[in-house]
Amino acid sequence: MKRTMNKKRLWLKNGIRLDGVLYQEIPGLVKTYRSPAFAEKYTYEGHDLGVVYTKERTCFKLWSPAADAVWVNLFATGSDGEEGAQSIGHFPMNTPSEAGVWSLVLKGDLKNVYYTFTLDFCGEKVETADPYARAAGVNGLRSMVVDLRATDPEGWEEDSYSYRGHQTEAVVWEVHVKDFSHAADSGMEPKGKYAALGVPGTRALLPEGNGDVIISTGTDHLRELGITHVHLLPVAENATVNEAVRESSYNWGYDPLNYNVPEGSFSQDPFHGDVRIRELKEAVLRLHRQGIGVVLDVVYNHTYHTKDSWFERIMPCYYHRTMPDGDFGNASGCGNETASERPMMRRYMLDSLEYWAREYHVDGFRFDLMGIHDVETMNEIRDMLDSLPGKNYLLYGEPWSALPPAIPKGVLPADGGHLLDMKEHIGVFDDRLRDSVKGSCFEKEEGGFVTGVAGTEPELRSVFRAFLDKNEKMLPDRRVAYVSAHDNFTLWDKLTFTVESDGSGFDAPEMLRVAVNKLAAACYLTAQGMVFMQAGEEFGRSKQGEDNSYNLGPEINDIFWSRKARFRELFEYYKGLIAMRKRYKAFTDETGRAARGAVIFLETDNQVGYLLPGIKPGDPRWILVLLNGTEEEKTVELPELIPEDMEWQVLADEAHASADALWSFRGKEAHVYMRSALIAVSEEIFRGEYDTFLFDLDGTIIDSGEGVTNAVAYALTKMGLEVPERSQLNKFIGPPLIESFREFCSMDPETARKAVDLFREYYPVKGMYECFLYEGIRPVLASLKAAGKRLILATSKPEPQAVAILKYLGVDIYFDFLAGASADTSRNKKEQVVAYALELAGIKDLSRVVMVGDRKYDITGARQNGLETIAVLYGYGSRQELEEFGAAYIIHTPADLLKFV
């Protein structure tokens, strides 16, 4: 976003009066703002600034210790040009509290009424929208009283999506709402709107000559590709797009106006402030139902307007940093920078982020120019998000600023130089990886590793070690691996400028550029840390060579989905790499064990070769990654630690990539084609160092299946009901039992409760006996015990018969009385049961414990206690479901447990 600098200013027009002192010179006022005394007196700890609505009354609150008087102005519409526009009233607010908060309560139902504030500073009156507003009229110039519950779409309260993976396991796809669906070939309607996000079943409208080729677009494409999260470029209301005109100007959204209000140009009705809220929630809900998380790009580092911003209008010179001469700081390059270190700006950011997380169910945040903010603020944000229940929130940002920030002495900026001062799970974009792989993002004809530029290998070495070779505290979850984003050239355009090709231009899948693009993808999709990609990178997205398209409109910015048909080979390669990354934990290890154990044996002449170790039982002993940026095929000698007869299963070569083996080779020599990657896994597996196995009582690893199905048959027989065929009975889901009986047997709640009682009458006695003496598990447990492994069972209801059998098998039992006796409640207490068992067992080193379970609440319980998780494939659900729940390793039979010995 390009803006002009503000003229220097030293004096306020009429001045500001604080505690009886008149301030006319800006530096003196700012000095007061920075004082501990001001912070102590005027920091408001409440979370109710703006509007709190009920049908009976509405409370308005505004923080402005400097104002001499404040009024609330009510309007029938969001702008004067609408039908029925009129002023409803002008009401003085009450004298502010000691913290400087003005308030007013108006009785009656003010739902969907619009409002502004008027403030008086020493005789100068200014009108402003509410910076804390949750809703606004067209173009955001008037705020709106909103009933948020009335904006919830159907099924909103049942939205149960919860990302439980580590930040390093996320694969994030960055897109602008309008770009996503606006192109004529998208197959989506309405084009460019929230209402097109998350809609399944869309297909590309391909040009003639493509025969019967069917290309999925939109959400189906995302599921096919395998990403975990969609990153939406800013959806908070921006200042430069005219919402009143359907096809008006275009902007990425880094020109913030209202931080808590969705952008109206993406709505089908921007004139009624509640509609855009509902439409954005519906989009989030649809994406969640497809198993896709939503990350919001947030721009708290500056405001679009400076002296005319809502912040400046309610409290001049407070929310923005200033230079010694009184001018606005300009670390954003957009005319100003916000002062996150000041208590009320920090409180604003925390409240705003919590609001988006709770009200819109979003799953993470990306910070624009995070280096402008301060370390303490970012740490408080991380703590706040971690305190919210239900999911792991992604948190990452740009570790730089456009210009040096005007940050006070002693305050640490949240930039790359202070990364280790920030808490874990705050990731930053790795521009060193980006520029090493493809060349400078600013110099369009400067190449990188993939285009044959020498000297980039040492930087890549550090990248693939997650920079642990430079600092042991630099864990992978602090890094975001990427090679393209909305800024600068798309990857395909960059390669068009730097790779000698046949001259076919931006829109043809020319063979050499496709090969180099595949290599670039292999470089960052095998790197440690979270991975991030620009929408459409997977099928050669082009912006026709434009490197700053923030306002250039849809003809440049649209995603043209028909490219997926032309670049199908490239898309399939990305898809395969993502599936491979998800399958093999060494790529996504958040602990740094894989990075520390990496063996980099080749680092010269545009070649990099390294081995990643397995980190959990059942992993390949080694993962081989060879990257060849030269124009020649290379034969690479593997290091001495590799046996002569080692067999390798190839997952990626110059043509294809997959989570499953493409072909194999044996020995210590590997051949890698020009400008390509070779990725392979050893046939030998890693057996791990686990010494403790924590079992779930109901896990199918210790359940033959007969225990459950016989208990169901027993219950139905006792009730005089028909018992289905065994093949049908095997489909019985299991706990929660009441829900299962209701669904499987079409029972009402009371009948289901009787069935559950009968089920339990059978299951603890005969069922448990069948489960634990099942021939498939008994010898496995005996082998584990003989190997010196500790076997622990975590349960909320130890039945006497089960206890006797388990003791016979050498299993220790721990249970939690607080979890209750019902399997229906224990599913919600799994993490407490596991934690209690670990505590009673005196286990401190969680890295040596693996939990055995097969349901999402087993897996969640393990993950929340820092354990690895085995998920059993044959009991409940599919491999894909278990992977989505976050299973660390999936086995097929009880005997597979012996791989851990």
Q: Point out the residues that are catalytic.
A: 368, 398
Radius of gyration of the chain (CA): 30
Please give the Cα distance from 95 to 317 (Å, whole number). 22
Residue keyed to tokens 């110059």: 654
- Round to whole Å and give the CA distance between 260 and 134: 5
Q: Among positive and negative, which fits the CA dihedral 222, 223, 227, 233?
A: positive
Tracing tokens 């007969």 back to the chain, one arrives at 706
For tokens 């590799």, the residue is 642
3 state DSSP class of 531 = strand
* Residues in Cβ contact with 858 at an 8 Å cutoff, skipping those fewer than 6 apart: 696, 699, 830, 851, 869, 871
Round to whole Å and give the CA distance between 324 and 331: 15
**Whole-Å CA distances, 785 to 790, 840, 848:** 7, 20, 15
Interior CA angle at 262 toward 341 and 145, to 5°? Answer: 90
Q: Phi and psi at residue 815, in whole multiples of 5°?
A: -145, 165
List CB contacts of 35: < 8 A, sequence separation 6 or more: none
Distance, in Å, from the CA atom of 490 to the CA atom of 441, rounded to the nearest integer, reads: 9
Cα–Cα distance measured from residue 93 to residue 103, given in angstroms and rounded to the nearest whole number: 6
Residue type, 39: A
d(CA 656, CA 486): 27
**Cα distance between residue 657 and residue 354, in whole Å:** 40
- Which residue, among 164, 143, 177, 2, has the nearest Cα to 74 in the 3D structure? 143
**How far are the Cα atoms of 760, 764, 814, 820 from residue 803, in angstroms, in the given order?**
16, 10, 10, 17
SS3 label, residue 89? strand
| Residue 65: strand, helix, or coil | coil
Which string of b and e fits 623-646 if b means at least 16 CB within 10 Å?
A: bbbbbbbeeeebebebeeebeeeb
Which residues fall within 8 angstroms of residue 782, CB to CB, at 6 or more apart?
A: 809, 810
Sign of CA dihedral 828, 832, 835, 836: negative
How many angstroms separate the Cα of 224 from the Cα of each of 174, 220, 277, 574?
Answer: 16, 6, 29, 11
b or e along 105-137 (b: 16 or more beta carbons within 10 Å of the residue's beta carbon)?
Answer: ebeeebebbbbbbbbebbeeeeebbbbbbbbbb
**Contact of 607 with 630, CB cutoff 8 Å:** yes
Residue count (the chain): 901
Cβ proximity of 253 and 179 under 8 Å: no
3-state helix, strand, coil split of the chain in percent (to 5) is 35, 20, 45
Neighbours of 563 (CB within 10 A): 24
Q: How many CA atoms lie within 13 A of 120 on its CB side?
A: 10
Residues 175/231, Cβ–Cβ less than 8 Å: yes
DSSP 442: S
